[in-house]
Amino acid sequence: MEVLQNRLNSFLKQKRGKSLKWPHPKTWKATPDTLAEAGFYFDPSTDDPDNVTCFMCDKQVTEWAEEDDPFDIHWQKCANVCAWANLRCGLRRDADSHGRFVFPDKSRLPTAKAMEKARLETFTAHGWKHDKNKKHMATSKKMAHAGFVFTPAEAGDDTGACLYCHVALGNWDEDDDPM
């Protein structure tokens, strides 16, 4: 479920022979789009029809309310244990009201070791394929150090993206150096 489109598709599929659809209106903050971007996929049950699960930390959240923001909820519940909550959902805390990055908490600077470690986890948690080739320059460590997080568009994809400048690069050749 590390692929964003797969998380989005989870809101469209039938579950266990039944069609359980996202039960809340599009006017709510928790929509399939915002939930998927915040790292969640739809994982409903008869008892919990709005249950979602994080693809990185497996945190389940249910009983959504109209004003519940998926990014804030994921950050509040999982920032210390989930790389995606820390990196993607924490971005709002790094910007001012105009969306400019100001990093009021210096421990969240892109160069901070904790942030680099979280970026690395996005690659290693799902098996970065270039780590298997000792000659490959785009190792998970170099990718994370360069500021990338793993954001594949499909299974087998090697796209990494910078969450700060929104540049995404993929199709890494053996001699490509992410730095």
pLDDT tens column, 126-177: 889 999 999 999 999 999 999 999 999 999 999 999 999 999 999 999 999 9
Domain boundaries, position 26: 4-94
Which residues are registered as beta bridge partners of 160? 150, 169
pLDDT > 70? residue 16: no
Say yes or no: 115 and 78 in one domain: no
Helices (H) and strands (E) in the chain, counts: 6, 6
Weakest mean pLDDT among 13-27, 33-47, 75-89, 103-117: 13-27
Single out the residue of 167, 163, 174, 84 nearest to residue 122, CA to CA.
84
pTM: 0.93
- Nearest-Å Rg of the Cα atoms of the chain is 17
Query: Same domain, yes or no, for 57 and 125?
Result: no
Q: Are residues 137 and 157 in the same domain?
A: yes
Residue 15's pLDDT is 59
pLDDT at 18 over 70: no
According to DSSP, the residues that pair with 95 across neighbouring strands are: 101
**Which of 94, 119, 153 is the endpoint of a domain?**
94
